[in-house]
């Protein structure tokens, strides 16, 4: 199997497993485990705290030793964490499974994209990221259907099934995943790993574009935890006597279908050689996200709330492939996984910082107020993405063409 096809397979199957496990997991936590709004947010805060601590070390390991090994270990840990989460419906087990799953996520995060960029090659990597985003969204569609069907049998069954599939994906990668176009530096000490981190931080410090992206990721992360953890509980009172799993499954499917369309349209318009255009797209995405979240928190009518909820989900789901394209164009191969991890660490730090305030407001006032507060956090990301777009280099085609006009 070619690296291009394997990347699409990993995106699709991984998304299917994750969506199967997570589509109704907040309903499971709120109704079966009995978590309060603040506890729901604290689970997410723990998740992001673990990601924050482990993000850079795992990125350095991927850059210094093996992206392939990091990805395989990550999927195995994610599967184990989900199984613990689903088999033991108590708060302590939810926390333990969250820690295991989060370490697995950061092993994959950055390493998977860096592996794809090296193995697929620069001429096809933009197409791979866009198609991978669409494969993820297609996998989400099937995962939503699976989650709804399995929930009808037992509320925890989708989580366990997602864990088993994720474990199976990790085992499959042991057999079929190769790493032919990249070799780690000949190092073997923690001091060399420290140098890798220092080099990555220095790269960010000396790049206005990367520094602005890092700041934008921080503020976007501050906003995301409140929406992710509180939006489904916010919509629960609107349902009346309608089946929860069918309603949320249908909403998730609509969002996934919309994201496939939006990502496909974005793939025709963006490219790694035009980073300014990519940055402007992300600035608009963050502006629409902020408006949608603030409006959702104050919505008092079912159709208004559903429309804003779907809009925010659709936009946010379509943004990650765009950001991946931008980061590839702005980083060198030797530090790419580390830079990806630093950006993801900024997102995790933002979620750690922004989740508890949103949860506290939701606990003391209303869940909608917590979502609106989370929406305010994303506003600085708009300005930072716009700044990064402005400071990004001109399209490479134009830069190459300029010398030809010189006498």
* CATH number (domain holding residue 345): 1.20.1250.20
Helix ranges restricted to H, 180-335? 190-205, 208-235, 244-269, 275-297, 302-330
Torsion-angle region of residue 301: left (phi > 0), alpha (psi -120 to 50) or beta? beta
Residue-level pLDDT at 84: 93
Spatial separation of the C-alpha atoms in residues 225 and 276, rounded to whole Å: 28
Question: Residue 181's pLDDT is what?
Answer: 75
| Average pLDDT along the chain, 407 residues, taken 10 residues at a time | 88 93 84 82 83 72 79 94 91 92 87 82 77 83 89 90 95 89 58 61 73 86 83 79 76 78 66 64 86 88 87 80 74 71 80 84 87 90 85 53 39
**Up-side HSE of residue 37: CA atoms within 13 Å toward CB?**
26
- Say if residues 133 and 125 touch (Cβ distance below 8 Å): no
Tell me if the pTM is above 0.75.
no
Does residue 346 come out as left (phi exceeding 0), alpha (psi in the -120 to 50 range) or beta? alpha
DSSP for residue 402: G
Per the CB < 8 A criterion, the answer to whether 208 and 93 are in contact is no
Residue 240 region by backbone torsions, left for phi larger than 0, else alpha for psi between -120 and 50, else beta? left
State residue 393's pLDDT score. 64
H-type alpha helices, 65-124: 67-87, 91-108, 111-120
Contact 46, 98 (CB under 8 A): yes
- For residue 54, what are the CA distances in angstroms to 94, 109, 113? 19, 11, 17
Interacting residues of 242 by C-beta distance below 8 A, sequence separation 6+: none
Q: Say how many domains are in the chain.
A: 1
Residue-level pLDDT at 240:
67
Which pLDDT score, from 0 to 100, does residue 199 have? 63
Q: Which DSSP letter does residue 30 get?
A: I
Q: Estimate to the nearest angstrom the gap between the alpha carbon of 379 and the chain centroid.
A: 19
Residue 139 lies in domain: 3-181+190-405
pLDDT score at 407: 35
pLDDT at residue 33, as a whole number: 84
């Amino acid at each position: 199997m070619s690296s291009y096809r394997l990347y699409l397979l990993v995106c699709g199957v991984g998304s299917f497993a994750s969506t199967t496990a997570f589509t109704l997991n907040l309903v499971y936590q709120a109704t079966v485990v009995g978590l309060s709004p603040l506890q729901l947010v604290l689970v997410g805060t723990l998740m992001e705290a673990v990601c924050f601590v482990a993000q850079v070390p795992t990125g350095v390991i991927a850059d210094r030793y093996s992206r392939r090994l990091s990805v395989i270990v990550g999927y195995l840990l994610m599967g184990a964490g989900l199984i613990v989460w689903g088999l033991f419906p108590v708060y302590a087990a939810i926390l333990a499974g969250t820690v295991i799953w989060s370490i697995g996520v950061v092993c994959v995060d950055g390493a998977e994209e860096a592996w794809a960029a090296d193995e697929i090659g620069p001429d096809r990597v933009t197409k791979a990221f866009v198609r991978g985003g669409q494969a993820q969204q297609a996998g989400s569609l099937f995962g939503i259907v699976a989650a709804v069907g399995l929930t009808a049998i037992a509320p925890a069954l989708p989580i366990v099934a997602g864990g088993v599939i994720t474990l199976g994906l990790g085992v499959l990668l042991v057999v079929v995943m190769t790493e032919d176009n990249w070799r780690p530096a000949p190092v073997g000490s923690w001091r060399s790993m420290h140098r890798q981190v220092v080099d990555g931080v220095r790269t960010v410090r000396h790049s206005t574009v990367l520094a602005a992206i890092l700041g934008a990721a921080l503020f976007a992360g501050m906003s995301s935890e409140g929406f992710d953890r509180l939006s489904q509980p916010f919509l629960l009172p609107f349902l009346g006597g309608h089946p929860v799993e069918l309603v949320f499954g249908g909403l998730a499917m609509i969002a996934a279908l919309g994201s496939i369309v939006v990502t496909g349209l974005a793939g025709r318009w963006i490219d790694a050689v035009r980073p300014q255009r990519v940055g402007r797209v992300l600035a608009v995405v963050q502006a629409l996200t902020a408006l949608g979240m603030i409006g959702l928190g104050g919505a008092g009518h079912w159709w208004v709330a559903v429309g804003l909820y779907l809009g925010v989900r659709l936009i946010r789901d379509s943004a990650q492939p765009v950001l991946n394209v931008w980061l590839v164009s702005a980083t060198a191969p030797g530090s790419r996984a580390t830079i990806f991890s630093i950006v993801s660490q900024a997102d995790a730090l933002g979620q750690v910082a922004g989740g508890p305030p949103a949860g506290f407001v939701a606990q003391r006032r209303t869940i909608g107020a917590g979502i609106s507060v989370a929406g305010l956090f994303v506003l600085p990301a708009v300005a930072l993405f716009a700044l990064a777009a402005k400071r990004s280099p001109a399209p490479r085609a134009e830069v190459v063409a300029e010398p030809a006009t010189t006498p």
